[in-house]
Structure formats: C-alpha cells, structure tokens
Structure 1
Amino acid sequence: MTTDMIITLTILAIAAVLFMIGKIRSDLIAVSSMVLLVVFDILTPNEALSGFSNSVVVMMIGLFVVGGGIFQTGLAKMVSSKILQVSGKSELKLLVTIILVTSVVGFFVSNTGTVAVMLPIVVSLAMNADMNASRLLMPLAFASSISGLMTLIGTPANLVVSEALETAGYGKLGFFSVTPVGTIALVTGTLLMIPLSKLLVKEGRERSGMKHNTKRRSLKELARQYQIAQNLYRLQALEDSPILRKPLANLNITGRYQVSVVEIRRKTQKSPFFKTINQEVAGPATWIQSGDILYVFGAFEQVERFAAECGLQLLDTQATEKLDEGRIRDMLFHEIGIAEVLLTPDSKLIDKQVKHSNFREKFNVNILGIRRGSSYILQNLKDERIRFGDALLVQGTWDNLDKLAQEQEHVVVVGQPLQEAAKVTLDHKAPIAAGILLLMVIMMVFDLLPSVIAVLIAAILMIVTGCLRSMEAAYNSVNWESIVLIGGMIPMSLAIEKTGAAALLSEGLVQGLGQYGPLALLAGLYLAASIVTLFISNTAAAVLFAPIALSAAVQIGVSPYPFMIAVAAASSFCFASPFSTPPNALVMSAGRYTFSDYLKVGLPLQILLGVVMVLVMPLIYPF
C-alpha cells in the first residue's frame, strides 16, 4: 500500500467514525475530509472542488426546487390523498403502497428522479395520515434503488455492464433482461423493509417531521375571529360604472359609504401557462377597470347602497364562510394575506385616527378591523382612534406584510408573514406543477436531454410559472446540508480510485476466491462491489468491476452474465450510507436521519439482499 492510499483510507475511516457518532454536522465532516485530501497533496484543488460541479449535485439542487413546487402548489397533498383513499391509514399498507408506486415510477425514471417525484408526496401523505414520515422515507429511497434493476435504463450501472458485454462480443442486455432478478430483489426488499423500518421510529422524533404550534392562530382562525366572512362581499364593475378609470383616493368610498375596498382581482391576457387572475391590494392609487371584481369589507346595507349608486353588480347576497384551506369565503391567501398587529408602548400611532395612520401610504396595507379587549370594531374604522392595547387586523401582499414586520419602532406583527405565506398552498397552480413534472419525466424517460438539463428546465419552469412564490422560496426549498454532504464526499471517491485502493480491494478478492469455484467467486465479486459502492458512486463501481468480473468469468470458463448482472445489482443496492447514493442523501433531512440510522437499517438490508442475490443469480442466469 502506498502512503497516499494509507492517508486516504485513514481520512475515510475517521470521517466514517464521526458520521456514526453524529456529534458533528455531516456537511462539515464532508468538507473537512475534502480539504484534508488537498492538504496532503492527494487531490489538486480543482479535483477537490469537482464534486460541487458534478452533474449529480446540480441535479439534486434542481430536484429540491421541483419538489418545493410540488409541495407549494398542493399537488403532493392531492396525490397523497388519493393514495390514502386506496390504502387507508394503516402504516403497513401505506409502506407497501409507497414501495410499489416508487418501483413502478423507477422502471422508467432514474432513482434520483423517482425520489424527487415521490418525496413531497410521501411527506404530505405522512402528515395526512398522522404518522411518522421517518418510517416511510428511507424505504422510499431504498425502493427507488432496487427498482433500478427492473429495466435496462433503470440505473447507469445496468448500461455499463451491458456495454461491457457487447464490447466483449457477448451481445448487450435486452430492456427486460434484468427484470427477473429485479423482481426477486423487490419482493425480498419489501419483506425485509417492513420489520426493519420500525427501527426508524424513535421516541421523541416528531410525527410527520413537524409539530404544530397550538398557540399561534391559523389564517382561518384569525379571519373567523374578525368575522371576515360575514363582512366581505364581491362586486363586479360594469361597463357604465361612474367609478371606472379613477384612483380610489379621489372617490372617497370609505367616507361616503362606510365600506372599504380591500382587494381587486383582474383578468389578465397572459399565456395560459401563467396565472390568469391578478390579485391586487386596493390602495389610494388603484384604478378600477370594467370587469374587475372588487372585494369590499363592510355592512351589507352599506355595500348594497355602494353597488347601486356606483354601477356595480353585487355577486354575494349573504355571507357564507367556506372552510377550504387557504381560502376564507373566496378570499384567497395565495399572494395577499392578513396579519395581526400590536402597538409598541411609545408608538406614534397611539390616539391617531385610522385614516391618519398612513398604513396604506407607508406600507401599502389595509386595516380591516380592530380588536379592543373582547370586542371587535369593524364598521366606520376611518374615524376610530387607535389605542394602546388594540390589535389591528391588516391585509396586504405577503411581501408588504413582511416589510411591516421589520418596522419595530411603532408596531409589532404577530407571527412571521413569510412563514405563514409558505403554509398556504397555491392550489390553482397544481395542474401547472403536474404538467412540469410530467414534462421532466418524459424528457428523462426518452432521453430527449441529459437528465441534469431536464431537471434544471423543470426547476426553472416551477419558478417562472409561479409554482414557487419567489427565488427566495426556491432557495429555501433546497436542503443545502445534503448538497454540501454529497459535493464534499465525491472527491473522496476520486481519491480512492486515484490511489488504487478500490482496485487493490477488488482484485485481491477475485484472486483469492477464484480457486473455490464460480459461486464463491460470484459472492466475492458481489461483496467487493457492495463494499466499494459505499464510498464511490454506483456508476464508478460498475465501471471498475465490470472488466474484472468479465475477465474472471472467462478465466474459469463460465458464462459472464451472472457475474456482470451481480456487479450491476451490488452497485445499485447500497443502503448503509447516506452519501453513497443521491436518493439516500435526498431523504436524510426530511426523515431526520442520522448516519447510524442508515447503518442499523440499511446495512442488514444490504447484507441480506446480497445473500439472496448471490443464491438466485445462478438459477436465473446459469454458469
């Protein structure tokens, strides 16, 4: 063994121990390992940083964004609700259903893409079923890896061994050549994951990965307390209305009718792929156009008089509250929200009339009501004086509410507006998100573009079509710890190959076991590939072991097919490490897993599945 090889294996061993202890963040361990490889002159700086430009890392970032769009539009919740209808809330049925659905998707899509599609759905499913998502997410990742052996295109390792066979003159594998062994692996893996997944549910680990704050009121509760539904009406501007094309500031609607125009919705002529209804907070400079829908807050009698005198059609005749999530009687919280505001003791707003508070002018938000003690003031607000201790219900875009929250000299906003906005699903965007997801899958299945480009296109479309509220929402949807973990560990696999450690291990096992017959050699090859795949990518492991397996089979005079397919299987079935495959890393944060979780569940699964594969491989592909 060379000095470089010893240093590399030592760094790897120390990193593995730190991962298992779990006291230091995994991304910090990965970056430190990467830096040490440069310090000891094993890798150049460019080689060490190559992990962050690796297509797998870039694709993972895009997949997180796509997953964020699936979540934000409520598409994940819709699909999970359908699955719940089929399987009910039985944990066993849900687990098996998820594994089967994941496997079907994995027939045609890469394991990374499969997890990206299923991850938000499974998390939403766990929340709806009130169960621990940690029991479902790791089996999801493992099922996606197993399903890769169902078809030729399921994983790059299959393509590597097929190309090696064709180059050697044996003919490449057919599309379903690996399906028999993949089916056995799927059945075996499912049966093993059912008991093993119970080890993932820990005492104290929050159900569904989250706890609800019982003290903070939801948007529905806040709107109900201030009786928004009972005082909100919709009016449509007719063509002959005298208030068209005039700024609201000049109309004095509040003074004349004691009602407030709080929101205007206007149809736009944009592409069908973009939103067709524009929500706008009504401000002093807002102009009304023919066909606009005005959301008016006030007493019904005053609203009716306002409509009659101003050429508006009253669309609501009574207040009926709808309890759909994110919607209070057609008042959508997609782009416009509400929040409660308290005054600071030295606020200059104390004892000022609402009309002189300048909330609209300064923050572009409307005051909808005042809570004073146990009573609510909702009518004739403009002349009401604001007192210390009052709580004001304000309405505006989520961004403007967040800006108001930064104004801490005079007011304090209860809660965090941007976090509240993130909870509101953009249900009207769900069909768009589904279309983008379908487009991504089609591009990947038919290889129309490289997978990483297909994913980036889908991520960009999620942002520009409004499936994610903003670029900030896109950045927030990425789990950067997982990205840095994979990016930092990829150079380690390069160092293992560069120093010859991987080749030394594989060749030693083959030479030592070849004399004991084809089954022993097959087991040795499978074990070696399985071990090496813990530290390098499955594609790199397949590239490394394919020529070794082919040469070993020829030397002892047996068919190379069981050996080659064993290499593909061993390279794909890597479960004992979070950084060994992108699917394992993708679910790590959402499932709140530690390195030891992968060891106690993934290692037994990897060993037991390996034993089954070695035993059945010669039966399906005889020596």
Structure 2
Amino acid sequence: MNGSMIITLVVLAIASILFISGKVRSDLVAIGSLIVLMLFKILTPGEALSGFSNSVVIMMVGLFIVGGGIFQTGLAKLLSNKMLQLAGTNETRLLMMIMIVTALIGAFVSNTGTIAVMMPIVVSLAKSAKTNPGRFLMPLAFASSLGGMLTLIGTPPNLVIQDVLLAAGYEGVSFFTFTPIGLVCIAVGLLSMLFLRRFLPKNDRGAENRRHGRSLQELAREYQLTQNLYRVQVGANSPISSKTLQELEIPARYELNVIEIRRRISAKNQFFKTINQEIATSETVIQEEDILYVHGPIERVEEFANDYDLLMLDHQIPENKSTDIVQYATNDVGIAEVMLTPTSRLINRLIKESGFREKYRVNILGIQRKDQYILHNLKDEKMRFGDAMLVQGTWKDIALLANEPDIVVVGQPIEESRKVTMDNKAPIAAGIMLLMVLLLITDFIPAVASVMIAAVLMVVFGCVRNMEDAYKTVNWESIVLIGGMIPMSIAIEKTGAAKLLSDGMVHLLGDYGPLVMLAGIYLITSILTLFISNTACAVLLAPIALGAALQFGVNPYPFLFAVSIGASMCFASPFSTPPNALVMSAGRYKFTHYLKVGLPLQIMIGIVMVAVLPLFFPFYK
C-alpha cells in the first residue's frame, strides 16, 4: 500500500468513528475530511469540491423544495389522510403500507425521486397518527432502495450489469427479469423491519407540544371560536353597502365584532386566489357581495342580518360547526395569544379604548382570565395583568406586536404562519409532482433537470410561498454531508484502495468454489458501497465478477446480480445513498440508528440473496 492509500483509509476510519460517536456534527466531519485530503494532495481542490456540483446533490436541493411545496399546500396531509383511512392508526399496518407503496413507486422512479414524493406524505401521516415520524422515515428510505430491484430501470447498478453482459456477448436482461429477486428483497425487508423497528426512535408525543406550545387548533378549541363565528353576505339592496364599519357602529348596537371581510376578486381560475381576505378596520368600506365574518351570539347575528337585509350563509353552509380553523388562520391571516407586561399602560383600560384595532391592526377575539373565557361584549371589558387575549390579524402585524414594550406575544407567529397550508394550491402541487414523476419515468430529460423544473414550478406557482421559504425547506446539513462524502469515493478509487480490496478477494476465495466466491463478491460490494456510490461500485466490481465466473466456468448471471443487489442494498450509513441522507434530519436519526437497523437488514438480505440467486440463475445450465 502506498502512502496516499494509507492516509485515505486512516481519514475514512477516523471519519467513521466520529460519525458513529455523534459528538461532532456529521457535516463538519465531512468537510474536515475533505480539507485533510486536500492538504495531503490526495485530492485536487477541484476534485474535493466536485461533490457540491454533483447532480445527486443538486437533485437533493430540488427535492427538498418540492417536498416543501407538497407540505405547504396541504397535499401531503390530503394524501396521508387517504392512507390513514385505509390503514387506520395501527403502526404495523401503516409501516407495511408505507413500505409497499414506496417500493412500488421505486420500481419506476429513482429512489431519490421516490423519497421526494413520499417523505412529506409520511411525515404528515405520522403527525396525523400521533406517531414519531422517525418510526417510518428510515423504513421509507430503505423501501425506496428495495423497490429499485423490481425493474431494470429501478436503480443504476441494474443498468451497469446489463451493459457488462451485452459487452461480453451475453444475452441482456429484460425489464422484469429483476422482479422475482426484487420481490424476495422486499419480503425480507418487510419482515426484518417488523423486528428491527424496536431500535428506531420511540414515540414522544409530549415533546412536540413542549417545543411548539399550543397549536392553532388548540387555541381555536379553547376559545370556542368555531361556535361563535358566522358569515353574512351583503346583498344588492343592503343599506350597509358603501358604508364604513365606523359609521355602522356594529359592536355598540349589536354586541358583535366584524373581524374579517372576504371579497371576490376573480373567478377565472379555481386554482389561483379568487378571494381577497382582509382584517376589518374602522375605515373598511362594505361592498356588495362582501362576506362578513361576524363573531358573537347567533341571536344577535340574526338580528343584524335581518335589519340590514343580509344573507345568513351559515344557514346553508354550517362552517361555524367545523373543527377546522381555516376561517381564522390562512396563509395571510392568523391568530395568536398575547399578554400584557406588568408595567403595561394598557392594564385596566377598556378594550374599546385600547386602540388594538386602530394602532396594531388586530382584532381581540377572546380573553382568558384564570379559568374563565370571556367571548362576548369584549369592548366593555377592562384588560388586566395576567389576562391572555386571543388576537387575529395578518401574521406580519401579529409578529410586530412582539416589538411593543407593553405586550408579550405567546409563541412565534411567523413560525405558526408556515404551518397553515395553502389548500387552494394543492391541485397545482399535485400536477407538478405528477409531471416530475412522469419525467423521471420516461427519462425524457436528465433526472436532475426534471427535479429542478419541479422545484422552480413550485416557487413560480406559489406552492412554496417565496424563495426565502424555498431555501428554508432545504436541510443544508444533509446537503453538505453528501457533497462532502462524494469526493471520498474519488480518493478511495484514485489511490487504488478499492481495486486492491476487490482483487484481493478474488485471489483469496478463488479456491473455495463458486458459492463462496458469490458470497465474497456480494460481501465486498456491500462493504464498498458504504463508501463509494452504488453506480461507481457496480462499475468497479461488475467486470471482476464476470471474470470470476469465467474463471470457474459457470453462469455469470448470479455473480453480476450479486454486484447489482449488493451495490443497491446499502442501509448501514446515512451518506451511502441520498434517501438515507434525506430522511436523517426529519427522522432525528443518529449514525447509530443506521448501524442498529440498517446493518442487520443489509446482512439479512445478503444472506438470503446468496442462498436464492443460484436458484434463480443456476451456476451450471
């Protein structure tokens, strides 16, 4: 072994120890490894930084943005609810469904693309089922790789061994030649995960609540918002048309609060915003066909509607009975709890004199005073220290309240605003997702271009709110980890470490018969794919496997299939495949989770494959 090879293997060993220990951030370890390899001139600066221009890394950035669009439009929740209806909340049934659906998609779409489609849905599904997403995300990543073995196009190593066979004059494999083997892989994966899931992160239902406080749904339920909200529409002959809310004096006359007005602005395209939503202020001018959101007792709402010839929409559409908070919280408008500081000048002042609506542009919807909720006649209530007040306004205005010395905002309004889905954009997000899948299946354009097109469309059509939000959807730790570890494979190949290992295996096992050689080829492929890409691993070992078969005078097919399967079934490391890295952050996994769950699964599939490959492809015909 030369000096460069020794240094490379030492750096790899130290990096692996640091990954396993978890005491140093994984992205920092990856960058540190690159720096060392550059300092010893094993890698040129161009080679060391090549990982960050790699198509896989660029794809991952795009896939995070696509996933953000699927989340923010509510499409993930919609699809996850459908899966919940089929499987219920039983963890075992959900796990089986997720893995089977993912494997089927993975048969036709790259495993990275499969994760892009399924990860937002699975995270939403876990939250709906009140389960830790970490219970499902690692099985999801593994299932995407297992499904790749079902078809010729499922994973790049399958195409590599096809090329090697054709170049050697053998008959190529058909599109579904891999299917029986793929089904065995999936069956082993499903059964193994039933036992290995005990090592996945446990459910901690209270942790999410401790981190985020009360959700928007909980606030709406506690303040009984949906029991006190009604909608009335302004008719053509209504006397309130063209008048301001200040002129009408609705709170004083009817003990009602007009909190919001929705006004139709377009009816051309149902997929785009057709309703303008605005917080009601004293200067707001009522227009014909406006829908007023009125907060107060039903008797007073009916009296108000009768006096001004208004149509009570809630007699036809019982929105006020819904448990949804769409009428209070949208992409633009939200709700939050605020409290007064001990020295606040607002203490002991009446709500109507506080200027909340005029100065801060927010409405007060309710007051929590100890264990009592005050929801009506708020204008005549005095604000006291210790009161919690529920306010509604634009998310931006609510966030600005935090800058006021007299007021404390409970929670983080901007963070809460990102949790409100843009449901009207869900059909657009679904269309973009399907377009991406079709482009990935047909291979009409490069896979990275397909993903980047989908990411750009998500931003252009507003499925992701803006470019800032698009950047925030990307988990940069995963990107840096993969980008930093890809050049490690260059160093391993460049220094000859990979070839030394593979050649040594052939010489070591050459005297023990074809079955032992088959096991050795699978083992060395499975080990190498932990450190170099599965495609590079297959390119390196496929000719060696073919040569070993010819040396024994046996059928080369089982040997080449061992290379393809060994290169694709890599589960023991987070940086070995993009799917493993993509789920690492969302599942809150440590390196040890991959060792405890992925390594046994990788070994189990290896044992089964060495046993069954000679059955599907006998050594001697």
Q: Specify the code of the residue in structure 2 equivalent to 1:106.
A: G
Tell me, yes or no, if the aligned pair for 1:574 and 1:580 is still in contact at 8 Å. Answer: yes
Answering whether residue 508 of structure 2 is matched by residue 509 of structure 1, we say no
Note if 1:365 corresponds to 2:365: no
Give the share of equivalent positions with the same residue, in percent. Answer: 60
Match of 1:322 in 2: 321
8 Å Cα contact 1:130/1:207 also seen in 2: no
With 275-284 and 297-306 compared, the bigger mean Cα shift is at 297-306
Other structure's SS at 2:428 match: helix
Q: How does the TM-score come out when normalised to structure 2?
A: 0.90
Say which of 317, 333, 337 aligns to 1:336.
333
- Name 2:70's counterpart in structure 1: 70
1:546 to 542, 554, 570: 542
Say which is worse superposed, 570-579 or 501-510, in terms of deviation: 501-510
Which residue does the alignment assign to 2:392?
395
Which residue of structure 2 lines up, in the alignment, with residue 100 of structure 1?
Answer: 100
Residue of 576, 579, 582 corresponding to 1:580: 576
Q: Per the alignment, do residues 404 and 460 of structure 1 end up closer, same or farther by CA in structure 2, a change over 3 Å counting?
A: farther
**Cα separation, 2, equivalents of 1:422 and 1:410:** 26
Q: 1:225 to 1:560 in 2, by over 3 A?
A: closer
Deviates further, 90-99 or 587-596: 90-99
Distance change (3 Å), C-alpha of 1:568 and 1:215: closer
Given that residues 314 and 320 in structure 2 are in contact (C-alpha distance below 8 angstroms), is that contact kept between their aligned partners in structure 1? no
Q: Kindly state the Cα deviation for residue 19 of structure 1 after the two structures are TM-superposed.
A: 1.2
| Map 1:164-563 → 2, pairs under 5 A | 164-201=164-201, 205-207=202-204, 210-213=207-210, 216-244=213-241, 248=245, 253-254=250-251, 258-269=255-266, 271-284=269-282, 286-300=284-298, 302-304=300-302, 306-308=304-306, 310=308, 312-316=310-314, 321-327=320-326, 330-372=327-369, 378-379=375-376, 381-382=378-379, 386-405=383-402, 407-563=403-559
- Letter of the 2:277 counterpart: Q
Q: How has the CA–CA distance of structure 1 residues 469 and 247 changed in structure 2, closer, same or farther, with 3 Å as cutoff?
A: farther
**Counterparts of 2:91 and 2:369 in 1: how far apart (Å)?**
47
Deviation by residue 1:209-240 (Cα, 9 ceiling, x = unmatched): 95334994443443344443444321212234
1:1-12 aligned within 5 A: 1-12=1-12
User: Do the aligned partners of 1:155 and 1:572 also contact (CA within 8 Å) in 2?
Assistant: yes
For the 8 Å contact 1:536–1:580, the answer to whether it is kept is yes
Q: Which moved more, 1:227-236 or 1:254-263?
A: 254-263
Counterpart position of 2:61: 61
Contact 1:249 1:285 in 2 (8 A): yes
Is contact 1:339-1:414 (8 Å) kept? yes
CA 265–157 in structure 1, closer or farther in 2 if over 3 Å, else same: same
Counterpart Cα distance in 2 of 1:215 and 1:556: 63
Aligned to 1:609: 605
Does the CA-based 8 Å contact 2:271-2:425 persist in structure 1? no
Is the contact between residue 230 and residue 320 of structure 2 (CA under 8 Å) also seen in structure 1?
A: no
Does the residue aligned with 1:41 lie in a helix, a strand or coil? coil
- Counterpart Cα distance in 1 of 2:264 and 2:547: 68
* Deviation of 1:507 (Å): 2.1
Q: Does the residue aligned with 2:149 lie in a helix, a strand or coil?
A: coil
Superposition deviation, residue 264 in structure 1: 1.6
Cα distance per residue 1:176-227 (max 9 Å; x no partner):
12222222222223222322222325xxx44479533499444344334444
Q: 1:557 to 1:13 in 2, by over 3 A?
A: same
Larger mean CA deviation between 249-258 and 108-117 belongs to 249-258
Query: Any idea what SS the aligned residue of 1:149 has?
Result: helix
C-alpha separation between the residues in 1 aligned to 2:90 and 2:328? 36
| Distance (whole Å) between structure 1 residues aligned to residue 185 and residue 300 of structure 2 | 70
Cα separation, 2, equivalents of 1:271 and 1:116: 28
Change in 2 beyond 3 A, CA 1:229/1:533 = closer
Q: Greater shift after overlay, 234-243 or 611-620?
A: 234-243
Q: Tell me the alpha carbon deviations over residues 463-506 of structure 1, each in whole angstroms, 9 at most, x when there is no partner.
A: 44444444444333332222221122112112112222112212
What secondary structure is seen at the aligned counterpart in 2 of 1:279? Answer: strand
CA distance in 1 between partners of 2:296 and 2:131 (Å): 43
* Counterpart for residue 142 of structure 1: 142
Distance in 2 separating the partners of 1:503 and 1:72: 47
* Aligned-partner SS, 1:212: helix
How many correspondences in the alignment? 617
Q: Return closer, same or farther for 1:521/1:225 CA change in 2, 3 Å cut-off.
A: closer
Amino acid at match of 2:62: G
Per-residue CA deviation, residues 414-458 of structure 1 (Å, 9 max, x unaligned), is 222233334444444443333332222112111233222222233
- Paired letter, 2:293: Y
